[in-house]
Amino acid sequence: MASRPELILASASPRRLALLNQIGIEPEHLVPAHVDETPEKGELPRKLAARLADLKAIAAQQKARQAGIGGNALVLAADTVVAVGRRVLPKAEMMEEAADCLRLLSGRAHRVYTGVCLLTPSGQARRRLVETRIRFKRLSNREMEAYLASAEWKDKAGGYAIQGIAGSFVVKLVGSYSSVVGLPLHETVALLSGEGYPVTFNWLNQSNLTSV
């Protein structure tokens, strides 16, 4: 019988790991991949998300092999981009960046793109790109100031985290909630299952735990 394949998550994001854990998946290895996330000239947001997911997967696979781990593992990477039209919003590092994002998103619609790339041990890539449309309510100055003070926006694409306080800003969402958090679960499961990864392996154990 073939051995159960291992999984490398090419991310340091606790949100992506938590999403995988939510569906009973625990990667054998966490190998964060740091790549240049600067958009290319004229690059559309959806192309950027797909390209960065690919780069992260390749970088993590190389890093893992150099460390002598996961030689026969699948490598899962994702990248999330928030955009208003063709404009890509930054992953806010400074409060001023987050404030600019909030002012731009207030009372209007935007799109969130998450690219997912699954690399096989032979280097073949399986990809998905998920687009989600979101509309924010009009934010008052008080709400913006309080949100900025919360610091929840730090290192978040578009300067907000939908799974936190900013969830109260969302008037409408069309698409995948988990994709906005950082990893579209339906598409990820489809990719993993297509490569023989036993997605349901831990579900029985989970059932036993919850019944105790």
**Over residues 20-27, mean pLDDT:** 94
- Whether the pLDDT of residue 1 is over 60: the answer is no
**Over residues 199-207, mean pLDDT:** 75
Residue-level pLDDT at 212: 45
Supply the pTM of this predicted model: 0.92
pLDDT 10s digits, 44-86: 999 999 999 999 999 999 999 999 988 889 999 999 999 999 9
Which CATH code fits 7-211?
A: 3.90.950.10
- Whether the pLDDT of residue 207 is over 80: the answer is no
Q: 54, 79, 100, 155: which one is catalytic? A: 79
Between CA 165 and CA 144 the distance in angstroms is: 11
CA angle 99, 154, 178 (to 5 degrees): 105
Residue-level pLDDT at 71: 84
Listed residue (91, 78, 84) closest to 157, CA to CA: 91
Residue-level pLDDT at 3: 66
Residue-level pLDDT at 206: 61
Active site residue 79: yes
Least confident of 10-14, 108-112, 148-152, 185-189: 10-14
